[in-house]
Amino acid sequence: MRVEPFFNREEAGRLLGEEVARRIGRPADAIVLALPRGGVPVGYGVAQALGVPLDVFVVRKLGVPGHEELAMGAIASGGVRVLNDEVLEYLPIPPSAIEAVAEREERELHRREKSYRGKRPPLNVEGRTVVVVDDGLATGSSMRAAVRALREMHPRTICRGRPGGGAVDM
C-alpha cells in the first residue's frame, strides 16, 4: 500500500483504478459514481481503468440546527433521504426542523446536480456493480452517507474506493 502522498487526484485515480481492477476485475455491469468535488478526478481514473461509465453522486449532509457539523442524516442523488436514528434519539429534533434543513439542502443538491450533470439523467444503479469513489481527504462521512443512500437504490454490489484508504472495500 502506498504511504506517500499522490502527485494529484488524477494520479490517485489512475492508481486506484488499477487496484480496483485487480481486486474486482472489470464487471460488465459496473459503473463508477464519484462524490464531488474531489472524488470526480479520482473517479475518472477508476472509470477509465475499468472501462465503465462515470457519473457523479451528490450527497448533502443534514446538519443539526445550531450544530451543523453534526449529521442528523443526509440526502443524496436519486431522492434518497437517510436519517441518523442515533442522533435523533439523543437530540429530539422536531420534524419541522428536520424538514426545513432537508428542503434547504435539497435545493443545494439539485443546484449541484444540474451544475455537474446538466440535463443528463443519473445512471441507474439497480442490479449493477457500483464503485463509489471519493478523494479520501475528509472524514469519510460523505462516503458513509452515499453508501447508505445507494443501498436503498438496490445495486447488486457496492465497492468503496479512496486513495490510500485500503483501495477497495466491499
| CA pair distance 128, 30, nearest whole angstrom | 6
Is residue 150 within 8 A of residue 125, CB to CB? The reply is: yes
Residue type, 159: C
**Which cell numbers in the block locate residue 109?**
443538491
Between the CA atoms of 39, 20, 150 and 79, what dihedral angle is there, to the nearest 10 degrees? Answer: 40
Residue range 25-63, pLDDT digits in tens: 888 899 999 988 888 888 999 999 999 999 999 988 899
Contacts of 140 (CB under 8 A, 6+ apart): 134, 162, 165
Return mean pLDDT, the chain: 84
Residue range 90-110: average pLDDT?
A: 94
Please report the pLDDT score of residue 15 as a whole number: 83
How confident is residue 4, by pLDDT bands cut at 50, 70 and 90?
low
Q: Which CATH number applies to 1-170?
A: 3.40.50.2020
Strand order, beta sheet including 31-34:
54-56, 31-34, 129-133, 157-161
Cell of 44: 475518472
Mean pLDDT of 129-145: 75
Q: Using the predicted structure, report yes or no on whether residue 169 has a pLDDT greater than 70.
A: no
Mean pLDDT calculated for residue range 94-116: 94
Grid cell 462516503 — which residue?
143
Q: Domain-by-domain residue ranges, the chain?
A: 1-170
Interval 117-124 mean pLDDT: 87
Whether the bond between 37 and the residue before it is cis, its omega within 30 degrees of 0, is yes
- Which range has highest mean pLDDT (1-5, 56-60, 71-75, 99-103)? 99-103
Question: At 140, is the pLDDT very low, low, confident or very high (cuts 50, 70, 90)?
Answer: low
